[in-house]
Structure 1
Amino acid sequence: MARLSAARYGKDNVRVYKVHKDKETGVHTVTEMTVCCLLEGEIETSYTVADNSVVVATDSIKNTIYIKAKENPVDPPELFASILGAHFLDTYKHIHKANVMIKVHRWTRMVIDDKPHPHSFLRDGEETRNVKAVITRDSIHLTSNITGLTVLKSTGSAFHSFLRDEFTTLPEVWDRILSTDVDCSWTWKTFANLAAVQKDVALFNKAWTDARTITMRTFANDDSASVQATMYKMAEEILEAAPEVEKASYKLPNKHYFDIDLSWYKGTKNTGADAEVVAPQSGPNGLIFCEVSRSVPTARL
């Protein structure tokens, strides 16, 4: 006999742009987001017996996202996600959980003639700031994330003394190019409700700035023995910088750049220490993950 073991539904890919206009200075601040909101609760009859009376239309969910963006701040996204989720639980008693995912697209203010322009911006990369929020009536769980931050350094990385067996062909290297697309997440200690999120709202932008700065500074300055060793240092520093964060994780692809042997052309040296022209590889690539947690997780009161 069949049974419905899990169900959620909602609206995905809701594109939202909001501009804050400072009337005194004329300076505009813009935020562009892609929002997904999925609801769970006493909705099983809509699946099992075609009872639509328990369904909050996904179009209504979309409209709610727009209205709440108008009525509330959208920065930081952790707060806006919590506001959205709390609204659905407060409004619909049969909805018991809201899953809200927000992706904030990067717009950077233009600098024109050495001055920040009041209302012009540029897209300087595909980096996004992301939030995943799970809201229930007695808790809010938030995970913040950076993706699409592509970094590279042309030296200061090595990889040697690794396990070798009959399948190993990779040579050991003491100096190599290191490049990756950063996927960094940090999970907050549990918040009791929306009021608790609002109380600590200043933490979210600081943690995002710190995580981004730590990632780039450690990547650039660490004399990297491996991606594993460097990413662990990054995660440790995030926990140190943000006491309210319970765990931090990285997922880093190792984007390879291979030497090109040009000795066939007039004995040209272009390998090892002489490598200047190299071939970027699209795949396959290494993929390394780590999660670093505090020794004793604690819940927020």
Structure 2
Amino acid sequence: MSFFLGSNQYGKAGIRLVSVQRDGDRHLVTDFTVATALAGHLDDTHFTGDNSAVLPTDTQKNTVYAFAREFGVGEPEAFALRLAKHFVTTQEAIYHARVNIEQHTWERLAPHGEPAPHSFVRAGTETRRAEVIVTEDDVAVSSGLGDLTLLNTTNSEFHGFPRDKYTTLPETRERMLATSVEAWWDHDSADVDWGKSYAEARDALLTAFASTYSLSLQQTLFSMGSYVLHQCPSVDEIRLSLPNKHHHLVDLTPFGLDNPDQVYVAPTEPYGLIQGTVQRHQMVPTVGPQLW
């Protein structure tokens, strides 16, 4: 009986990189978690243990640190592009390189109202993400974010849904709407101002969430994705995953109290999960990382 090797890759995950750019007394901190994954002509290492085509994962890790020193870090998309192209162009056996980066944000402390030059606090904002895939013939760049928690205290309804014998949810014309956005969007070019593009996409997500009168979280998802495509010409497709972070009014009548939409309980589980893709052109194949 014969068996066959399917698709495979190998690399280094969880590479923690912190870079400090020292411009006189004013410092800039960049904090990445990097993952590399290489694929190519690697049958021999699987079949016979011949490692002559296997660039060690430790070398991949060292390359991340060396490139940070030699070329600087900059935007995560640009750093990932540099790494992925290096692995494909310098390793004869490798024809596919994927680099994922998560960026962790640090904000300057301002103890006396003035931003401190070299003191920081880890920000509780979202995680910025980037993924680059480089092959011998193509380059694909995706940007994204996660854990972007948003809340509208009004302008949200949910009604008109089908009911059966298991349905207990009441219809509502007024509810809290909260979610934690996970998103990836694909670019049609590798020649992009990555910092500006990320800021524009993030702002478009926030603007659409705040300005959409929501009759369903699905409607909000499509509005957010559409506005990113409208505001960001380099983006071809955006994939969104929006958990419905429920907020339920607490029944205070046992205590002789009313509750005019003021006191809520926010359970963490279970939760609704709304996911969808918004495309500039119908049936555009997805090249970037998937959310589901």
Partner of 1:283: 269
Equivalent residue for 1:214, pick from 204, 211, 236: 204
Equivalent runs, 1:207-286 vs 2, <5 Å: 207-266=197-256, 268-270=257-259, 274-286=260-272
Asked if the contact 2:159–2:173 (Cα under 8 Å) also holds between the matched residues in 1, the reply is yes
**Higher alpha-carbon deviation: 210-219 or 175-184:** 210-219
Alpha-carbon separation, structure 1, partners of 2:22 and 2:95: 36
2:16 matched to 1:15?
yes
CA distances 1:92-131 after superposition (whole Å, capped 9, x unpaired) = 1111010111010111222343322222221221521001
**Higher alpha-carbon deviation: 153-162 or 87-96:** 153-162
Alpha-carbon separation, structure 2, partners of 1:279 and 1:216: 24
Partner of 1:194: none
The residue identity in structure 2 corresponding to 1:10 is: G
Structure 1 residue 222 displacement after superposition: 2.0
Equivalent runs, 1:1-301 vs 2, <5 Å: 1-23=2-24, 26-125=25-124, 127-189=126-188, 191=189, 197=190, 200-202=191-193, 204-266=194-256, 268-270=257-259, 274-295=260-281
Alpha-carbon separation, structure 2, partners of 1:119 and 1:58: 33
Alpha-carbon separation, structure 1, partners of 2:105 and 2:216: 29
Structure 1 residue 22 displacement after superposition: 1.7
Alpha-carbon separation, structure 1, partners of 2:243 and 2:112: 38
Asked if the contact 2:152–2:210 (Cα under 8 Å) also holds between the matched residues in 1, the reply is yes
Number of equivalent positions: 283
The residue identity in structure 1 corresponding to 2:240 is: Y
Alpha-carbon separation, structure 1, partners of 2:205 and 2:114: 28
TM-score by length of 1: 0.89
Alpha-carbon separation, structure 1, partners of 2:72 and 2:180: 30
**Higher alpha-carbon deviation: 141-150 or 164-173:** 164-173
Q: Which runs of 5+ in 1 are unaligned?
A: 192-196
Alpha-carbon separation, structure 1, partners of 2:153 and 2:232: 30
For residue 253 of structure 2, give the secondary structure of its aligned residue in structure 1: coil
Structure 1 residue 90 displacement after superposition: 1.4
For residue 118 of structure 2, give the secondary structure of its aligned residue in structure 1: strand
TM-score by length of 2: 0.92
Q: Identity of counterpart residues, as a percentage? A: 37
Asked if the contact 1:247–1:291 (Cα under 8 Å) also holds between the matched residues in 2, the reply is yes
Q: Which runs of 4+ in 1 moved over 3 A?
A: none
Structure 1 residue 167 displacement after superposition: 2.5
The residue identity in structure 2 corresponding to 1:147 is: G
Asked if the contact 1:207–1:241 (Cα under 8 Å) also holds between the matched residues in 2, the reply is no
Structure 1 residue 134 displacement after superposition: 0.9
Asked if the contact 1:126–1:148 (Cα under 8 Å) also holds between the matched residues in 2, the reply is yes
Q: Which runs of 5+ in 2 are unaligned?
A: 286-292
CA distances 1:179-207 after superposition (whole Å, capped 9, x unpaired) = 11111221111x4xxxxx3xx242x1112
Asked if the contact 1:108–1:121 (Cα under 8 Å) also holds between the matched residues in 2, the reply is yes
The residue identity in structure 2 corresponding to 1:259 is: L
Asked if the contact 2:29–2:106 (Cα under 8 Å) also holds between the matched residues in 1, the reply is yes
The residue identity in structure 1 corresponding to 2:18 is: Y
Partner of 2:290: none
The residue identity in structure 2 corresponding to 1:181 is: S
